Amino acid sequence: MTLLSMRRTIAGRVFKTVLGLAGVPVLISALVCGVFLFRFGLQFTDPLERTAFGLPVPQSMLSARGMMEVYRIIYSTAFLHFGLILSAIAFASAAVREETDEQTLHHLYLQPIARPLIVLGKYLGFLLVAAPVFIIAMVLTFALLITPYGLDGLRQVLATTPRAYYFGMETAVIFLAMGCYASLFLALSHFFKNNSYVLFIYGWEAATNWLPPVLKNFSIAYYMKEMLPIGSKVAEDPLALIADPLHPIQSVLVLSAVIIGGLLVASWAASRKQVLYGA
């Protein structure tokens, strides 16, 4: 079921949507890199360069440190708050609503296989296809932004910052975030005939920084942000409402509970669903 879902995802419109959304941050970083190279050419500024008094040099868009800040902003917005959510919406819509409208859902539901396994197969098939695409896009985004500093610049950045650790945490967050959103939207798609509900969820997730601390606990974006190491976080908005920091393990447990809960609800709804097409 998982392999079938992977093949159908790659051959369908969902994969094109995933490629388009993952390509947006890569395109942005390519434009930034192109403008930089056209204007200044290849150069490298030591990310830990200091003045004669031992003080850090003020951050600049012309420094590798400045480019890393651009990368963090792209990762936080184009990936976490844009691409992953919209990809999960496209998947959930295709998995239930589009198959119902196209009268193809019964081909799966009438097979001699438990419906919860069908739901799980669809979910894993999408996750195994979409998550690697976004991870590759994340690496390309980083590589393009550091390109103006050449191989020496890349080696210096890797040597002076725990970039491998940051990449590992950012990859884990992409997997968990996509898993949460896909599970949540897959469950909700069984109860709504259109995708109007996603506007509320998207707005809620986008407004996480300005929610009261108590309400932040009901936002997936809040737990995603708390999982990221300091080197992957963007600067706090001065107007953001500050909540008590969470331990990464707490975030993993909560996000895992959302994934399991969404799959259980989707499986229950699929088990009760009757394949009856109207005129």
Q: What is the pLDDT of residue 180?
A: 94
Q: 220-253 in b/e burial notation, b at 16+ Cβ within 10 A?
A: bbbbbbbbbeeebeeeeeeeeeebeebebeebee
Q: Which residues pair with 56 in a beta bridge?
A: 50
Identity of residue 251: S
For residue range 104-123, list pLDDT tens digits in order. 777 777 778 888 898 999 99
CA distances from 53 to 44, 58, 143, 174, 211 (A): 21, 13, 32, 41, 42
Q: What is the pLDDT of residue 60?
A: 45
Q: What is the pLDDT of residue 217?
A: 84
Place of tokens 């600067």: 235
Q: What is the pLDDT of residue 95?
A: 82
> Tens place of pLDDT for every residue, the chain, 279 residues?
899 889 988 988 899 999 999 999 999 999 988 887 777 666 555 444 544 444 444 444 456 667 778 888 899 889 998 999 999 999 988 887 777 767 777 777 777 888 889 899 999 999 999 999 999 999 999 988 888 777 776 777 777 778 788 888 999 999 999 999 999 999 998 888 777 888 888 888 888 878 887 888 888 988 888 888 887 877 766 666 777 778 888 888 999 999 999 999 999 988 887 766 565
Q: What is the pLDDT of residue 138?
A: 94
Q: What is the pLDDT of residue 199?
A: 85
CA distances from 152 to 106, 147, 184 (A): 57, 10, 44
CA–CA separation, 250 vs 227, rounded Å?
A: 9
Q: What is the pLDDT of residue 125?
A: 93
Q: What is the pLDDT of residue 208?
A: 82
Q: What is the pLDDT of residue 56?
A: 47
Q: Which residues pair with 50 in a beta bridge?
A: 56
Residue among 27, 145, 163 nearest 82 (CA): 27
Q: What is the pLDDT of residue 192?
A: 82
